Amino acid sequence: MFNLTKKSKMKNLKTVFNKFNENKSAQFISFPEYRTGTGTLYGNLVINTNISQTNLNKANLGKLLAFDLSTFDFKGEPKDMETLKLAHDELIQSAKNSLLPSEKKNNRAKAQIDAYLPVNNAVKIHKETLSIKIMGLKIAGTVLETGEPFDLGKAQKTRYKNLIKQQAGFKIKKTWTLEKLTSMKVQGDTIVLQ
């Protein structure tokens, strides 16, 4: 078991990073508890890390291209087929752009990439705040407390985009903030963070 006290935090952070570096393939990490930005508290949260972002982007593009707008469930939203088609087309273009080499990405995407220092495929550090982020797909988790509901966005096109992603089965890597954790389990080792 690793204990991250103030005195040994930097040394043990290196151990945490090495734990992620030991395994280059996908691996499962569990968090006993994690509270999201919207206030939802998860118990026994399991994420899958070290997943190829390129492969994920290709899979999402395939899902978008195969998504049949005639099956779209408006879920109470106003029915505006023109805006729905525009939202779908923009999602496809965005998915295609995500597969471009870094130097061909737009300025917003470059700024997001440049804001972080990658430690490895699963961990990155925000250059300004030094906040440590773990990227992965949520595999399982029990909601212990419900926070604010997910906001689909204010603009109709944005709301359609979010509904298309849900209905197409989009898989998106989420970012989990290390500072919000008390402990985590990586490759069978429990790492206490407070």
Quickly list DSSP for 152-169.
--SSHHHHHHHHHHHHHT
What phi-psi label fits residue 10: left (phi over 0), alpha (psi between -120 and 50 degrees) or beta?
alpha
Higher-confidence position of 15 and 31 = 31
Contacts of 143 (CB under 8 A, 6+ apart): 40, 41, 42, 43
Q: Is the model's pLDDT at 102 over the cut of 80?
A: no
Q: Is the model's pLDDT at 3 over the cut of 60?
A: no
Nearest to 120 by CA among 6, 58, 29: 29
What pLDDT score does 150 carry? Answer: 66
Q: What is the pLDDT of residues 20-73, one digit of tens each?
A: 777 777 788 888 888 888 888 888 889 888 888 889 999 999 999 999 999 999
3-state secondary structure of 104: helix
**Spatial distance between the Cα atoms of 174 and 38, rounded to a whole number of angstroms:** 14
Q: Is the model's pLDDT at 77 over the cut of 60?
A: yes
Q: Is the model's pLDDT at 151 over the cut of 80?
A: no
What pLDDT score does 11 carry? Answer: 57
**Spatial distance between the Cα atoms of 45 and 28, rounded to a whole number of angstroms:** 10
What pLDDT score does 8 carry? Answer: 47
What pLDDT score does 153 carry? Answer: 64
**Spatial distance between the Cα atoms of 81 and 152, rounded to a whole number of angstroms:** 18
What element of type H or E holds 140?
A: strand 132-145
